[in-house]
Homo-oligomer: A and B are copies of this chain.
Amino acid sequence: MTITPSTPAGTLELLPAEQAIHDAMLDKIRRGFRRFGFPAIETPVFERADVLLTKTGGETERQVYFVQSAGSLEAGEAPDLALRFDLTVPLARYVAEHEHELVFPFRRSQIQRVYRGERPQRGRYREFYQCDIDVIDRDELSLRHDAEVAAAAIAILEDLGIGSVTLRINNRRLMRRLLEEVGIESEDAQTEVLREVDKIEKKGVDAVGRTLVDSGLSPESVGKLLEFTSVSASGVAAIESALSTLPARAESEAAEVAEVARTMAALGVDEDSFALDLAIARGLDYYTGTVYETRLDDHPELGSICSGGRYDDLAGQYTTTRLPGVGISIGFTRLFWQLREAGLLPEGSPAVPVSVALMSDDDLEYSLGVAARLRAAGIDTETQMTPSRLGKQLKAADRRGCVLVVIAGESERQRSTVSVRDLTRGEQVEVPLSDLVDHVTRRLSQEP
């Protein structure tokens, strides 16, 4: 008569030890965003369906989840709510709705889950965290912000303890000038070609070249185009030099890319951490200028872990105010899953580092007092409430991921001491109660 309990398909649910690593990583991202001056906002998980789905026909919109109350469903009504499928449309709604209460340029960070009704497959989630930062201004937004969001993303990713990254930059307007140079003039044709260029990494340059020729472009045009898309360079001087080889008609767009690179260096970004790469196109037509992708240097096979770009007008569907912006997004759940699969998750702090054992009911008050002392010093501490064999308690604490077990039995109590068992090293020492906090603090910070 029981129902088999199971999580819905396409969701990632973690046990406490992995949740602690997950949350510690998210927390680093959150603090990093704030360090760069991007305060956090949150929006509701659902939006009014008519507000969310103003641009019809997109792939993401076909994957939307609709929401309706039991009453509305019973009444046979159409759903009037839908789960957000990204954080950009809710940002557009937020900025348009609160326009007169916000200060521009408006920076915001947002770390929330989004929902897409994708066909479940390994590493593809229906519910996943996105970690976004964007800067929005009215009418005009300085190009320098394109450097700012990229600098923030690099600093934050490098702080995660998953190795060094390279953020690759391109500019979609620059690409359009280069497409004109090889004779592809119409905007629609350019969009089609850019979509194909975006597949170079996945399909290889030869396959993309053949597809482009098959679609009717001259082999000569395709050859010149693929020469452009092979341009890449790392470091400000090399980027400037590579850009100087491009045709004159792309001069002002090339100058923009160079300015972004120089501003990133001024923001203190290590010049090894970013590169120009004219093969980066970002499939989304949404982007109108700078575009970014970011890879782990030691694991490029994981693909881009952080992408984004510049857009001309964030919220045209909601307001007549022109709101240009630039933003970048970490697809966190997928990244976490990939790192876990590859055995690359950073070492995390234990969910709860210290456990206070209970040897007999007579020791309860003393043991609870010991725990209270540790907590008062800010040390995360669990307490055993039922006495049992020490071996059993040590094993349970170890399985929970604790590092230290504090034993406060009768003999310790009589001497006003405690015994501290280090589960990692298998050592046990007796310390006076008055030294407990110092001792535990030292052990947890890995000092000898």
Binding site for B on A (CB under 8 A): 2-8, 11, 13-17, 19-20, 23, 34-48, 50-51, 54, 61-73, 79, 81, 83, 92-94, 96-98, 101-103, 105, 107-108, 113, 115, 117, 127, 142, 144-145, 148, 155, 263, 266-268, 315-320, 351-352, 355, 364-365, 368-369, 371-372, 375-376, 378-383, 385-386, 396, 399-400
Q: Are A83 and B63 in contact (CB under 8 A)?
A: no
> Besides A62-B71, A144-B364, 9 other CB < 8 A contacts?
A2-B318, A2-B319, A5-B97, A5-B318, A5-B319, A6-B51, A34-B351, A35-B379, A105-B386
6 intermolecular pairs with C-beta atoms under 8 Å apart: A5-B96, A16-B41, A19-B40, A145-B385, A148-B383, A267-B372
Please determine whether A68 and B70 come into contact, CB atoms closer than 8 angstroms: no
At the interface, is chain A mostly helix, strand, loop or mixed? mixed
Task: Determine if A64 and B54 form an interchain contact, defined as CB atoms under 8 angstroms apart.
Answer: no
A23 lies within 8 A of B40 (CB): yes
Query: A148 to B358, alpha carbons, bound, how many Å?
Result: 14
B residues in contact with A98, CB < 8 Å? 15
B103 & A396 in contact (Cβ 8 Å cutoff):
yes
Contact of A66 among B64, B73, B368 (CB under 8 A): B73
B67/A83 in contact, CB under 8 A: yes
- State in angstroms the CA–CA spacing of A107 and B50 once bound together: 42
Q: Is the Cβ of A369 less than 8 Å from the Cβ of B5?
A: no
Task: For the complex formed, measure the closest distance between the CB of A274 and the CB atoms of chain B, giving whole angstroms.
Answer: 15
Q: Which of B15, B376, B386 contacts A102 (CB 8 A)?
A: B15
Q: Given A2-B319, A3-B50, A16-B108, are A36 and B375 also a contact pair (CB < 8 Å)? A: yes
Return A235 CB to nearest CB of chain B, in Å.
17
Residues of B within 8 A of A35 (CB): 375, 378-381
- Chain copies in the assembled complex: 2
Residue in chain B with minimal CB distance to A78: B73
Minimal Cβ-Cβ distance residue in B for A96 = B5
Asked if residues A39 and B16 are in contact (CB atoms below 8 Å), the reply is yes
State in angstroms the CA–CA spacing of A374 and B246 once bound together. 38
Complexed CA–CA distance, A386 and B16 (Å): 46
In the assembled complex, the CB of A64 is this many whole angstroms from the nearest CB of chain B, namely: 5
Tell me the bound Cα distance from A42 to B26 in angstroms.
13
> Which chain B residues border A319 with CB–CB below 8 Å?
2, 5
Contact B378 A46 (CB under 8 A): no
Question: Given the complex, which residues of B lie within 8 Å of A107, measured CB to CB?
Answer: 382
- With beta carbons under 8 angstroms apart, the residue of B37, B51, B352 that contacts A3 is B51
Contacts of A368 in B (CB 8 A): 263, 266-268
Chain B neighbourhood of A115, CB < 8 A: 45
The residue that A65 contacts in the complex, of B17, B69, B94, B263, with Cβ under 8 A, is: B69
Docked complex Cα distance between A383 and B34 (Å): 12
Q: Name which residue of chain B comes closest to A355, CB basis.
A: B37
Interchain CB contact under 8 A, B69 and A37: no
Assembled-state Cα–Cα distance A122/B364 (Å): 46
Q: What's the minimum C-beta distance from A233 to chain B, rounded to whole angstroms? A: 22
B63 pairs with A65, CB closer than 8 A: no
Q: Which of B5, B34, B42, B380 interacts with A34 by CB under 8 Å?
A: B380
- A364 CA / B155 CA spacing, docked (Å): 20
A173 vs B280: C-alpha distance in the bound complex, in angstroms?
A: 67
How far is B351's CA from A37's CA once the two chains are assembled, in angstroms? 8
In Å, the complex CA distance between A365 and B266 comes to 5
